[in-house]
Structure 1
């Protein structure tokens, strides 16, 4: 290692030699950097899982444009829309199809008394509202009263239940005073606010939620005619639909608004954001303590070099060398541990938690910057020191 660093640096790797000289400090410093790396990677992973779970319902919408209530932030909140807006949208040039989407939540009580929260899509079975082959293949089934399809990725469901349903054995359960018959499955996945999804017809939805009116869906999904321009169609829709109760966006724009709301205004998003900041601060403090102690122990040696004319950048290069080595040695085990934790948590919770190359590179660069910043702070004492006063 010493020879390799000597070739890379073009000089004796003083920083590396100082790190390995103390047999206990180096492992402690690497462990500290690894801990900070794990903390940041996990918080970014949770934040990514939150964003991924926010995206799930939008990915299922078979539409180019989404019309929602003007106060809508997430698919589940916001006021219902007058169904009249759907007919008004159909009269706009460039619109080929407009279909209502009803959105609700139910509690699915298990035999052991535990409860699973399900987000419910109420759709028109005569229209391809949802972009999911497994759902599209069973539209005729859910057209029957009180018939449903369930998300096979729903968390903590009874063992073997979804295999049983997939093999043609219906499953019945009671909710809101009605008995639903589940005849098929599809896959979407749970998130932070729901364990999974349930798809039923709009008529079944209205029977399940009697307080809701047929003339007030949550969203209207708009598909464009071939060759129609999205931006021009949105502008025409905005000119026709009243802004006081309707908001017109592409599905991607609706997702972006939802993501910004949940990551900056909802507690869970803010907690993960603060977790990232805390991880960075922990890493800076640990590396600073290691490097500042090292500088203090070798202050007389550094002063000798300073007295014979070595510039400040020479000492910075030594400390930065130490900082870069700590960043590399600390990130690798932190990355490996994070991969294991990602797999464990994803398997236990069903959250869309996965390591991405961009995230790994981003954190590596961040850890390197964190260590270099700590090194720059640690050398301030040396920059102010007078060699004559150190002997």
Structure 2
């Protein structure tokens, strides 16, 4: 290691030699940085799963514009909007077609007695252009009464049921007093609000949710004419529809608004964001304590260097070297353990907790920055010290 660092820095790796001289302190420091890195990784992983599950339902849709109630928060946490708004929207220039979308949470009990919650989407089956290719192949089968397409990644669903469906079989179950028959599968996954997704016709939806009426869908989906700007049609719709109780967003803007709401207004998003901040703070404190103690233990050596004419940049270089070593040595085990915990969480909860390169790079740069800041703070004592006083 000393030879490698000598080659990289072009000088004797004083910082590394100081750290490695006290093995116990080095292990403790690296463990502390690893713990802080692990904490940040886990908070970011769960926050990423929250964001992914928030926008996952958009994977069922193929629409340019979403009209919703102003009372709604996200696509799946929405109020009801008058179906009459759909006919008003069809009169706006540039709107090619429109369809209502119904959403509800449908629980049912498995044969083993456990309960599964399915976020159910009711579509007008005469308008397949509003659904994504992921369910288009099975969409025509929803014209049959009480047929549904089941999410094969539903938490708690027996593997035998999914295997049978994927082999062309059927699965019959009772939910909310209505007998449903799954005739196909889709791949969306569960989230924080439900264990999985369910697609059905609007008529099947209304039978499964008898308290709902066809005149009050949760959203209205629109597609625009070819060659017409979506943003232009959005502005026309905002002028034509009452802004007091209706919001009009392009589909991608609607998904981004959902993410913003979950991360800044929902308690879960705020808690995970605070957890990331605490992880960074823990790392700063640990590295500062280690480097500050190291500086104090080697004041005599630093004083000698200062008396010989070495300036503050030289001392900063040594402490920054230590900070880089701690950042790299602490990041690697933190990353490895995080990947293992991600896999465990994914297996147990079914949440989309994934490690990607961008997150790993972001956390590494954050670890490096935090360690560097701690190093800069730890050298403040040397900047104003007099060599004579240090002896």
TM-score between both structures, scaled by the size of structure 1 = 0.96
1:329 Cα deviation after fit: 1.2
1:63 Cα deviation after fit: 0.4
In 1, the alpha carbon distance for the partners of 2:115 and 2:264 equals 29
TM-score between both structures, scaled by the size of structure 2 = 0.96
**In structure 1, what is the equivalent of residue 274 of structure 2?**
274
3-state DSSP class of the match of 2:353?
coil
1:389 Cα deviation after fit: 2.5
1:65 Cα deviation after fit: 0.6
**In structure 2, what is the equivalent of residue 237 of structure 1?**
237
Superposition CA RMSD, Å: 1.5
In 1, the alpha carbon distance for the partners of 2:89 and 2:69 equals 14
3-state DSSP class of the match of 1:256?
helix
**In structure 1, what is the equivalent of residue 329 of structure 2?**
329
3-state DSSP class of the match of 2:235?
helix
**In structure 2, what is the equivalent of residue 90 of structure 1?**
90
Equivalent pair of 2:59/2:132 in contact (CA under 8 Å): no
In 2, the alpha carbon distance for the partners of 1:158 and 1:5 equals 54
Equivalent pair of 1:129/1:221 in contact (CA under 8 Å): no
**In structure 2, what is the equivalent of residue 135 of structure 1?**
135
In 2, the alpha carbon distance for the partners of 1:271 and 1:111 equals 36
1:381 Cα deviation after fit: 2.1
In 1, the alpha carbon distance for the partners of 2:130 and 2:28 equals 53
In 2, the alpha carbon distance for the partners of 1:283 and 1:168 equals 53
Judged with a 3 Å threshold, the aligned counterparts in structure 2 of structure 1 residues 137 and 4 are, in CA distance, closer, same or farther, namely closer
**In structure 2, what is the equivalent of residue 27 of structure 1?**
27
Equivalent pair of 2:130/2:221 in contact (CA under 8 Å): no
1:235 Cα deviation after fit: 1.1
1:134 Cα deviation after fit: 4.9
**In structure 1, what is the equivalent of residue 147 of structure 2?**
147
3-state DSSP class of the match of 1:100?
strand
**In structure 2, what is the equivalent of residue 381 of structure 1?**
381
**In structure 1, what is the equivalent of residue 313 of structure 2?**
313
**Once superposed, which parts of structure 1, at least 4 consecutive aligned residues long, lie more than 3 Å away?**
129-134
**In structure 2, what is the equivalent of residue 8 of structure 1?**
8
Equivalent pair of 1:149/1:185 in contact (CA under 8 Å): yes
**In structure 2, what is the equivalent of residue 390 of structure 1?**
390
Cα displacement string for residues 85-128 of structure 1 (whole angstroms, at most 9, x for unaligned residues)? 11111111111110110011011212232211110000111111
3-state DSSP class of the match of 2:118?
strand
Runs of at least 5 residues in structure 1 that lack an aligned partner in the other structure: none
Judged with a 3 Å threshold, the aligned counterparts in structure 2 of structure 1 residues 71 and 129 are, in CA distance, closer, same or farther, namely farther
**In structure 1, what is the equivalent of residue 59 of structure 2?**
59
In 2, the alpha carbon distance for the partners of 1:386 and 1:63 equals 70
1:295 Cα deviation after fit: 0.7
1:272 Cα deviation after fit: 0.9
Matched, 1:165 2:165: yes
1:130 Cα deviation after fit: 4.9
**In structure 1, what is the equivalent of residue 247 of structure 2?**
247
Aligned pairs (5 A) from 1:115-264? 115-128=115-128, 130-264=130-264
1:17 Cα deviation after fit: 0.7
In 1, the alpha carbon distance for the partners of 2:137 and 2:364 equals 45
Matched, 1:69 2:57: no
In 2, the alpha carbon distance for the partners of 1:175 and 1:102 equals 17
Judged with a 3 Å threshold, the aligned counterparts in structure 2 of structure 1 residues 258 and 348 are, in CA distance, closer, same or farther, namely same
In 1, the alpha carbon distance for the partners of 2:312 and 2:165 equals 72
**In structure 1, what is the equivalent of residue 48 of structure 2?**
48
3-state DSSP class of the match of 2:81?
coil
Equivalent pair of 2:59/2:188 in contact (CA under 8 Å): no
1:129 Cα deviation after fit: 5.5
In 2, the alpha carbon distance for the partners of 1:389 and 1:358 equals 48
Runs of at least 5 residues in structure 2 that lack an aligned partner in the other structure: none
In 1, the alpha carbon distance for the partners of 2:388 and 2:131 equals 76
Equivalent pair of 1:123/1:129 in contact (CA under 8 Å): no
Structure 1 stretch displaced more, 130-139 or 163-172: 130-139
In 1, the alpha carbon distance for the partners of 2:71 and 2:356 equals 34
